[in-house]
Amino acid sequence: MAAVKGGGPDSVPSVRIMPGFPTLTVAAAMSQATQKIGFVSLGCPKALVDSERILTQLKVEGYEIVPSYGEADAVVVNTCGFIDAAVQESLDSIGTALNENGKVIVTGCLGKRAELIREAYPDVLSISGPQDYASVMHAVHEALPPVRNKFLDIVPDTGIKLTPKHYAYLKISEGCNHRCSFCIIPSMRGNLVSRPVDEVLIEAEKLVKGGVKELLVISQDTSAYGVDVKYAEREWRGKAYRTRMTELCEGLSELGAWVRLHYVYPYPHVDELMPLMAAGKILPYLDIPFQHASPRILKLMKRPGNIEKTLERVQNWRREVPELTIRSTFIVGFPGETDAEFEELLDFLREAELDRVGAFAYSPVDGAKANELPGAVSEELKEDRLEQFMAVQAEISAAKLQRKLGRTLKVLVDEANADGAVARSAADAPEIDGTVLIADGQHLKPGQFVDVVVEGASEHDLTTRLAYPELKLI
């Protein structure tokens, strides 16, 4: 699928697609006389994991997942409702599914606004919210009673995955305890509910045994993992682990895969991760949604507002882990944001020199408390500020990547063709960050680790050649 450079995991909704089928997510299945389901998955990686769980259950119960509306007996649409653009994309996808197929089951975040969906499309069969797998399956059973086929009901231990075989998202919790004024996610996904640490580690172990080389840890608030269960202790591989971010990372580091952390809030205990990164146990990569740099705007957002402390901590982390990559997301044009406060944000960007940055103009999502604030910024000014912001970050990113010229990097191959290979370094999460292009990587395979020498750099991507072309596999 296409990815917008610099975007954040929650900033832009996305449709999971397969080549040749522009709107449907598919998992390959043998063609037999079974009930057939089409599936559309929209939104962030957390929604993607929800889709994987639904698809796995469908497969377990004997349903065939097909790649086109015409082949499907019914279609499931997993929606997103994070910002207005996501809401519109979800509504459009529901409409397309109804027009092309007629039997549509709706689930996901927008399902929390059932009246909006019913008003636009009264003929949908069922509407349910995020993580409501039981309601989805009940609706499927009502529309298409399962026909079991023991030759088709074979599901790998890892379940059905919508990512390439060599990386997978590992969701460690649901919901969020924060009440950021611009966000409605808690109203859709509820308060924080952490998965037991042993359950997460067992899933991760199965994924790695199944060929996964990179685990992308996701949640709404990774740093808060375990708070709701008072960091309950569980056992895995004969050792006790607390349900807590640091201990989870210690366990994941035993699996020999890349471990990448997303949605990390800058709580004090994030400092505990630095020794693990410095020792190479987890990737030196943090995805931290700072959102703004003006103390007043941060207070209005109901976000941590001590920006000087944030800069100091970023500098301390980099002293301890020089290779640390920091990705963040920001909002421009928040209600009441003045020219001076926007300049504060740009100054922070220049001083912090963050490696990967995404931003979006404030979207007055229905139900967000921030909509009640005075001083709404015009759409024209929002877009102007967004353009300025991304131009500043592009300069920072280009300068940082230039410093990598001549260096040897370990990368993970995502794809290869006659033009070379596309890979990612420790600094690059899939789909949202840059890529590493390997000019002589035609014969590489997805999931291989190789060393490359950096020969060129743009604002987001690196161009390289194999450091040891005589070696086929590392």
- Give 15-25 pLDDT, tens digit per residue: 443 333 333 44
Rounded to the nearest 5 percent, the helix, strand and coil shares of the chain are: 35, 20, 45
Burial class (CB in 10 A: 0-12, 13-18, 19+), 62: middle
Are 358 and 394 within 8 A, CB to CB? no
For position 56, what pLDDT does the model report?
85
- The percent of residues above 70 in pLDDT, for the chain, comes to 89
Mean pLDDT, rounded, for 282-296: 94
Crossing angle for the helix pair 339-352 and 379-402, to the nearest 10 degrees? 10
pLDDT tens profile 216-238: 999 989 999 999 999 999 999 99
For position 11, what pLDDT does the model report?
36
The H or E element spanning position 246 is helix 245-252
pLDDT tens profile 184-208: 777 777 889 999 999 999 999 999 9
Residue 3 reports pLDDT greater than 50:
no
Which has more confidence, 147 or 28?
Answer: 147
CA separation for the pair 454, 419 (Å, rounded): 17
CA separation for the pair 69, 37 (Å, rounded): 9
For position 288, what pLDDT does the model report?
94
- Alpha carbon of residue 367 to chain centroid: 23
For position 368, what pLDDT does the model report?
84
Q: What is the pTM of this model?
A: 0.77
The H or E element spanning position 316 is helix 307-320
Mean pLDDT, rounded, for 35-42: 93
pLDDT band at 132, cuts 50/70/90?
confident
Paired tokens of 20: 């040749």
pLDDT band at 28, cuts 50/70/90?
very low
Paired tokens of 222: 């990774």
Pairing of strands 126-127, 104-108: parallel
Identify which of 453, 450, 354 has the alpha carbon closest to the alpha carbon of residue 405: 453
pLDDT band at 8, cuts 50/70/90?
very low
For position 30, what pLDDT does the model report?
37
| Residue 319 Cα distances to 230, 275, 323, 351, 403, angstroms | 32, 12, 9, 15, 17
Paired tokens of 123: 């003929």
What phi and psi, each to the nearest 5 degrees, are found at residue 36?
-115, 135
